[in-house]
Copies of this chain bind each other. A is one copy, B any other.
Amino acid sequence: MANHSRKRPTKVGLPPGTLVHVGEKQVEKARITVMDYDDGTFQEKVIEAVGECFGFKETATVTWINVEGLHDVGIIEKLGNCFGLHPLLLEDILNTSERPKMEDYGDHIFLLLKIFVPANTNHDEKIQQVSLVLGSNFVISFQEKESGVFDPVRELIRKAKGRLRKLGPDYLAYALIDTIVDSYFTVLEKFGDEIELLEDELVMDPKREILQKIHRLKREMIYLRKSIWPLREVVNGLERLETPLIKPTTDVFLRDVYDHTVQVIDSVETFRDLVSGMLETYLSSVSNRMNEVMKVLTVIATIFIPLTFIVGVYGMNFRFMPELEWRGGYFLVWGVIVATAGVMIAFFKKKNWF
């Protein structure tokens, strides 16, 4: 998971109110698509010049404008001016290191969320920022680049399935948020699979690389948690908002999204506990195993060192060593050796030392 925690350098030193894109440029050219629908009509088109969407502002139908690519500050600014969006809101859209948040600007509500887009490399998820603006007859969504996260909603609109075409922009906003929260479950599942795999590995054959893996998991969990935790308060805030933009009938759906958010956070916390437990298990089992090994090795050394001393004694070259002249001296020494070893082994066994 990429480290998004401290980007904002390019803004430091600039006066407040300056529109600057903070983040990597991820697409060549911003891509704008519009879906305009109500129960009966439906229209979908790709916009070339940003001005084309201004027409939709006055229509009674629900309009969903989706912008992919944030580096072209001009487009964002023009859209903002046309739809009357607050300058601070535009700043937030452009600054991809913001924290998830919800802001009520009276005639429009602003939502800033994070999604996890699979990266090319194996383990990393890239965190992308998604902004939603809900107005009285429109929803505008901004993404850093094309991610496919909204595809199921698009399908629903195109096929006029479900309640979507019958309800207003607030329900569309709900559907988009729901899709985003749902996408977290995929990430969680991947984490869950990794944890299960590691748990099996821990039981079967704990190798040293497992430590690296546990620590990596732990670090990713820190980032994941940081992106998801504020979501709870965002969705809860949205649900409690006193605003004509959200109809009472949509409240129960928002409550449902809230429940899912809590479930996601719950799972992240459980994962944290599990990973901590795994680390503990690994460390204590490694240390246990190590201790056992060292004990056995030390026992072997401890038995042979005194024996070596004994044979050393009779390796001395004194002229007068009576034992050396004895006929059975050699065998006697062997007897002493075996006896000594035996006593020591018996003692260690009794003490349960190996």
Contacts and interface: CB of A to CB of B under 8 A. Distances in A.
CB-CB nearest 5 A-B residue pairs: A6-B192, A311-B312, A314-B316, A315-B315, A318-B330
A252 B325 CA distance: 100
Nearest to A298: B297
A3 interface: yes
Binding site of A, secondary structure by majority: helix, strand, loop or mixed? helix
A88 B65 CA distance: 28
A164 B18 CA distance: 12
Interface in A247-297: 252-253, 255-256, 259, 262-263, 266-267, 270-271, 273-274, 277, 279-281, 283-288, 290-295, 297
A40 interface: no
Interface stretch (A29-37, A73-81, A116-124, A149-157): A149-157
B285 A3 contact: no
Contact of A288 (B16, B208, B327, B329): B208
A98 interface: yes
Contact of A318 (B174, B252, B304, B329): B329
A243 interface: no
Contacts of A57: none
A253 to B, nearest CB: 7
Contact of A15 (B162, B280, B324): B162
A222 B312 contact: no
A303 to B, nearest CB: 8
Interface residues of A, number: 118
A175 interface: yes
Contacts of A92: 256, 259
Contacts of A333: 316, 318
Contact of A86 (B11, B196, B252, B271): B252
A263 to B, nearest CB: 5
A25 interface: no
B304 A189 contact: no
A15 B163 CA distance: 10
A325 to B, nearest CB: 6
Interface stretch (A47-55, A129-137, A138-146, A211-219): A211-219
B301 A312 contact: no
A128 interface: no
A178 B318 contact: no
A114 to B, nearest CB: 13
A14 interface: yes
Given A178-B16, A266-B99, A294 B298 contact: yes
